[in-house]
Amino acid sequence: MTTYLPTRPEGVEDTPRTLKKGMTGVDKVFEISATTIGTIVLLITGGIGLFLLGNSIPTLRYYGWSFFTETQWNPEQNVVGIAAVLGGTVSIAFVALALAVPLAFLTALYISDYAPPNLKPTLISAVDLMSAVPSIIYGLWGFFLVMPYAGDVARWLHRWMGWLPIFDVQTDPNSAFVDQTRYIQSAFCAGIAVAMMVLPMIASVMREVFSQSPPGEREAALALGATRWGMVQSVVLPFGRGGMIGGTMLGLGRALGETIAVLLIISQAEELKWRILETGTNNISALIANKFGTATGAQMSALLTAGLVLFVLTLIVNTLAAIVVSRSRSGADAEA
């Protein structure tokens, strides 16, 4: 016979136990540290924005909207504008994305779903290591190794696709003597170097999102007879759609602000054009790096105004990318 002991003395009523809601110990230290660091980052970012805005007011008051529509940068003649360099910034960035996004997508997909388990950590480390390579190395690589071959590719694109305005060059690609210098130091050549710089970032974001696709849905698709590619199409890609978009936008934010690699490769030209294969272009960051050392007071204000435009543009792109990545899960679009 089992004897049950009373859990409390007779006549004593149950009273709810008071639970401590606040964190203690290591958790509290981590919360305070994370909050402090996040606040410092926001203050630094806001301080940079306020500094650029404060130094940009004289330029914006003097030039007005012409600062955004003028293509020439000639302070000696009182003609200053960022239309040309803004167009060059966008063209170089989109050339980089056109090359980097497909490569990053295939790399991320192979690592997450096709690579052997013993090879996967090595591939992840190799991709992450690419992010640690200094930009000047990519610039030297692009100038000495890539640009001669990129000129041949640019000439081929001009010959067969020159009917598109972006692939047109003001020369005859079929002539007996072709001026090869018309095809180098262009947005296309700079975009190749920048593409290799943004590829690791895009691939890392995509791989992380692909690897988090629900294993139950993966196994269910395979159990129903789907091939590996069929499972990827029905589960992994719908799940990772937001991550693909967010990773691409993060790469765009990096490509917009690249400086050293672009400065080493391009032939600076103050001309608003969309012919990406033709020599001569510029972007905002390269303009600032090139003119900063010899700028006077008024010229420095104009350069800081150009920096403000780049700062705002990059901040908007990165903010939208963070929003897309944070909302990328749910698998609701995955087919049942």
pLDDT digits over 125-163, tens only?
999 899 889 889 999 999 998 888 888 898 889 888 888
List pLDDT tens digits, range 53-90. Answer: 999 999 999 988 889 989 888 888 888 899 999 999 99
Global pTM reads 0.84
Q: Is the pLDDT of residue 33 over 70?
A: yes
Q: Is the pLDDT of residue 21 over 70?
A: no
- Contacts of residue 95, Cβ cutoff 8 Å, sequence gap at least 6: 187, 188, 190, 191, 192, 194, 195, 276
pLDDT for position 335:
43
Which two tokens mark 236? 């992994």
Give the closest residue to 80 by CA, choosing from 324, 321, 331, 301.
Answer: 301
High-pLDDT (> 90) share of the chain, % = 31
For the chain, the farthest-separated pair of C-alpha atoms sits apart, in whole angstroms, at: 109
- How confident is residue 3, by pLDDT bands cut at 50, 70 and 90? low
Q: Which residues of 38-59 are buried (b: 16+ CB within 10 A; e: fewer)?
A: eeeeeeeeeeeeeebeebbeeb
pLDDT for position 10:
66
Three-class secondary structure of residue 245 per DSSP:
helix
pLDDT for position 334:
43
Range 223-227, long-range pairs (CB < 8 A, 24+ positions):
none
Distance of alpha carbon 252 from alpha carbon 247, whole angstroms: 9
Q: Is the pLDDT of residue 36 over 70?
A: yes
pLDDT for position 7:
61
Mean pLDDT of 183-193: 91
Range of lowest pLDDT (190-199, 292-301, 304-313): 292-301
329 vs 276, higher pLDDT = 276
- Contacts of residue 258, Cβ cutoff 8 Å, sequence gap at least 6: 92, 135, 194, 197, 283, 285
How many whole angstroms from its chain centre is CA 200? 10
The CATH class of 83-295+314-326 is mainly alpha
- Contacts of residue 299, Cβ cutoff 8 Å, sequence gap at least 6: 75, 80, 291
> At 111, phi and psi to the nearest 5?
-65, -40
- How confident is residue 311, by pLDDT bands cut at 50, 70 and 90? very high
High-pLDDT (> 70) share of the chain, % = 90
Rg (CA), the chain: 27
Q: Is the pLDDT of residue 332 over 60?
A: no
pLDDT for position 176:
65
Mean pLDDT of 303-309: 92
Residues 120, 111 contacting (CB under 8 angstroms): yes
- The 10 Å Cβ neighbour count of residue 228 is 13
Residue 47, amino acid: G
pLDDT for position 9:
63
Q: Is the pLDDT of residue 326 over 60?
A: yes
- Contacts of residue 307, Cβ cutoff 8 Å, sequence gap at least 6: 52, 284, 288
Residues 266, 276 contacting (CB under 8 angstroms): no
Give the closest residue to 305 by CA, choosing from 59, 50, 83, 66.
Answer: 59
| Domains of the chain, residue spans | 83-295+314-326
- How confident is residue 104, by pLDDT bands cut at 50, 70 and 90? very high
- How confident is residue 242, by pLDDT bands cut at 50, 70 and 90? confident
Phi-psi region of 7 (alpha: psi -120 to 50; beta: other; left: phi over 0): alpha
